[in-house]
Structure 1
């Protein structure tokens, strides 16, 4: 080197060690993969838990507080939901949530459930057995007036009244998944629903069949018809046709 020259030195590179590089890469990957999975809400797991806890709607509005642990209602204005078709229950929950059926508690509860939760609750109640009381009629097993029984079984052609039996069955057990069974529903509840259909307070029936039928009923016919519908032939001797009562 000549006098006055600047000497520049460079650090020697560290030897490349593949094993150390691989270890560091694997460590970073393992740390990134250690994020714990999201913990599912235990009250969303089953329809039973939602029914008993109320889910996001709260325990005070849990299904069982009104419909009972067995899903059979209160015998008055709360219907039985045990044994109903799951699709039918889901549809009714949707109607409550979007206002086609109006009920303060049901609208709030249904609105707090998402579709999966509604499906879980519906499946839970659909599998429940229907346990009918010895006599669900205020008539105590007596025969209904023939004219009322005929309205249910035959309707009235001159009044343009479709028979109840054509959709709900001669014995009230329902025809198809979309037409619910009526046997075992409390007579007061059925009477209120008929009035709600008639007065346009309830919607959601296919082609407006229930609204049309209810508007053709007189006020004097609603309570006796509801009582007739509520009775079950296996428990209260309800006749399949009025001849049995004559």
Structure 2
């Protein structure tokens, strides 16, 4: 299959921003530089109904696996800089708890550290664990909420569904 060109993924950049960097609204995530296998699995999940976002499902419903693989490969190969981080808008206590969950997890509740799977710098792990770096609070909240409510699923083992359901609402915040 020939490699995809930017014109083939123009529909993606309408929401995910130029070069897949994400948009200022914070709801559409950065897809540039994410692991190819992760992106491919997410495209399959949207197309096949394991993730529900009608626009994505509509855009992908008639695309075959080869086209989805090509789209994943295209965005995975992009190496664009991250914008500077925004200052946290939270209380000091929430920031301390967040740092604890990210670095140590909560063994008493069976919650592993985010870094255990997503990497020490939260940039992801190959072949299929995405980076969390640069994702907005709104996006992370919506995805954790979707896992908690059963509106987002992955192929087994769906580790994030288990982690999200173990988090208290205060921890999600």
**TM > 0.5 fold call:** yes
Q: Which moved more, 1:166-175 or 1:76-85?
A: 166-175
Matches within 5 A, 1:25-36: none
Normalized against structure 1, the TM-score is what?
A: 0.64
Q: Tell whether 2:21 aligns with 1:72.
A: yes
Normalized against structure 2, the TM-score is what?
A: 0.88
TM superposition shift of 1:47:
4.0
CA contact (8 A) 2:85 2:134 kept: no
Matches within 5 A, 1:1-246: 46-52=4-10, 62-75=11-24, 76-139=26-89, 145-204=95-154, 206-223=156-173
Could you say if the C-alpha distance between residues 143 and 132 of structure 1 is closer, same or farther in structure 2, counting changes exceeding 3 Å? farther
Question: Secondary structure of 2:82's match?
Answer: coil
Question: Secondary structure of 2:154's match?
Answer: coil
CA contact (8 A) 1:137 1:187 kept: no
CA contact (8 A) 2:118 2:124 kept: yes
TM superposition shift of 1:208:
2.5
Could you say if the C-alpha distance between residues 153 and 222 of structure 1 is closer, same or farther in structure 2, counting changes exceeding 3 Å? same
> Can you give the 5+ residue segments of structure 2 that lack an aligned partner in the other structure?
none
TM superposition shift of 1:179:
0.9
Question: Secondary structure of 1:145's match?
Answer: helix
CA contact (8 A) 2:50 2:154 kept: yes
- Whole-angstrom distance in 2 between the partners of 1:92 and 1:212: 18
TM superposition shift of 1:214:
0.7
- Whole-angstrom distance in 2 between the partners of 1:221 and 1:215: 11
Bigger relative contact order (CA 8 A; separation at least 6) = 2
Higher Cα radius of gyration: 1
